[in-house]
Amino acid sequence: MGMEKLPWRFLIHCIWLGVMGVDDSSWTAEVPSSVSGLQGSCIVIPCSFNYPDPEKKPSELIGIWFKDKYEIIYHTDSSSTIADYRSRTKLVGDLWQKNCSLRIDPLHPSDKGPFTFRIEIKEYNKASYKDDRVSIAVSSSPDLPSLSVMKKEVKVAEEVSASCSVSHSCPSDPPLITWSHSGTPSIQSQQQTNGQWEETSTLTFRSSIADNNQPLVCTAAYRGGKTVSSSNTINVTCKWTTPVC
């Protein structure tokens, strides 16, 4: 008789473990442990979360972000957000798509965190993702642009191509890159890891003898007023072996 009952007990035990395992593992969140941002600019903290799907679609999802466990820096009901963050935080992710990404604008030196996300699901459940904390490294000045010239020695009227790249954390308002030389610039934005973006401007122009040994400068202007520049030079020679081009 005991031998007949054992398989059923074992099966029930396995089912119980399986259900518990699914529930526990489904309450998860993904955030980088640290993101970097520029004081005065904005920053977007990438965040996604998961929870066991309820049998019935909930009527409301409430997203909350905490600083240091207790201070509410974002709440779906803005009246619950502390005054210092009420006008600076916005949920740019869609909670219904399990995206909890948060924007802070402008970024202050005190916005270091750590920050944690909490979800409250009406008529279902709620959870704080306490083990998934994110901190912000706030810098007072941006890094210099990375400037590269494809070919530094060219002939007069030969095409010159140069690229200027900067990193940032504000995809809604990226740095504006300008050049000291006229030409045709093209802009490309590319998402990196840990909330970083790369903005690249590529400039093409026809060289003249006046460009010889002259600085080619690219300048990046960030939200908040910070600007940084990098420069490089090209050597321009005549097409013919004559003193006049």
Strand order of the β-sheet with 115-121 is 71-75, 61-67, 115-121, 125-128
Confidence of residue 243 (pLDDT cuts 50, 70, 90): low
Do 53 and 151 lie in a common domain? no
Cα dihedral across residues 73, 74, 80, 86: positive or negative: positive
Do 152 and 72 lie in a common domain? no
CATH code of the domain containing 222: 2.60.40.10
Flag whether pLDDT at 20 surpasses 50.
no
Looking at residue 20, the DSSP 8-state letter turns out to be: H
Do 56 and 127 lie in a common domain? yes
Q: What is the pLDDT of residue 239?
A: 75
- Distance of alpha carbon 243 from its chain centroid, rounded? 52
Q: Which residue has the higher pLDDT, 244 or 80?
A: 80
Task: Specify if 13 maps to a domain.
Answer: no
Do 35 and 103 lie in a common domain? yes
Question: 208: Cβ–Cβ under 8 A, 6 or more apart, which residues?
Answer: 156, 157, 236
C-alpha 236/C-alpha 143 separation (Å) is: 30
Q: What is the pLDDT of residue 11?
A: 34
Q: What is the pLDDT of residue 241?
A: 61
Task: Specify if 37 maps to a domain.
Answer: yes
How do residues 110-149 score in pLDDT, each as one tens digit? Answer: 999 999 999 999 989 999 999 999 999 999 999 999 999 9
Give DSSP secondary structure letters for 55-92. SS--S-EEEEEEETTTEEEEESSGGGS-HHHHTTEEE-
Domain count, the chain: 2
| Domain enclosing residue 69, as ranges | 29-139
Report whether 221 contacts 40 (CB < 8 A). no
What mean pLDDT is reported for the chain?
A: 89
> Strands, E, within the chain: which ranges?
28-30, 34-38, 43-45, 48-50, 61-67, 71-75, 89-91, 102-104, 115-121, 125-128, 135-139, 146-149, 153-155, 159-168, 176-179, 184-191, 197-206, 215-221, 227-233, 235-237
Last residue of a domain, one of 123, 139, 155: 139
C-alpha 64/C-alpha 216 separation (Å) is: 47
Last residue of a domain, one of 110, 139, 168: 139
Flag whether pLDDT at 182 surpasses 50.
yes
